[in-house]
Amino acid sequence: MKQSTDLTNFQCIQCHACCKEKGYVRLTTQDTLSIAQFMDMDVWEFTDSFTRLTHDRTGLSLTEKPNGECIFLTEQGCAINPVKP
C-alpha cells in the first residue's frame, strides 16, 4: 500500500531536523525554477547539479549529501531558505 504524507499545513520552524533525515524532497516545476533563479543558475544546470529522479521515477527531488542531509543544509541553516520547497 502506498503511503502519503499531507504537508499542506506544514510550518517550518527552522530546526533543520527534517533536513538531516534520509528521504527525498520532491520538487515541483515551480520549485525547480525558483531555486535555479535564486541561485542565479540556468534551470538545466541546476537540475543536472542538484536533482535526481525520484524513487518512483515520476519526478525530481533534491540530491543529498553522503550522510543523507539535504544538499543545501549548511552550518548556518538552509542555503535556499527564501525559496525552499
Q: What is the pLDDT of residues 5-35, one digit of tens each?
A: 555 566 766 766 677 777 778 899 999 999 9
Looking at residue 18, its pLDDT comes to 72
User: Is 1 a residue whose pLDDT tops 50?
Assistant: no
The tally of domains found in the chain comes to: 1
Count Cβ atoms below 10 Å from residue 36 Cβ, excluding itself.
20
pLDDT of residue 8: 59
Residue 43 covered by a domain: yes
Residue 29 belongs to a domain:
yes
Query: Which residue segment(s) compose the domain that 42 sits in?
Result: 23-83
Unique residue bearing C-alpha cell 527531488: 61
Residue 45 lies in a domain: yes
Residue-wise pLDDT tens digits, 28-81: 999 999 999 999 999 999 999 999 999 889 999 999 999 989 999 999 989 999
Q: Which residue has the higher pLDDT, 3 or 63?
A: 63
Q: Looking at residue 22, what is its pLDDT?
A: 76
At residue 26, the 3 state secondary structure works out as strand
Q: Are 26 and 59 in contact (CB under 8 A)?
A: yes
Query: How many Cβ atoms sit within 10 Å of the Cβ of residue 67?
Result: 7
Cα end-to-end distance, the chain, whole Å = 26
Residue 29 CA, distance from chain mean position: 12
Residue 61: inside a domain, yes or no?
yes
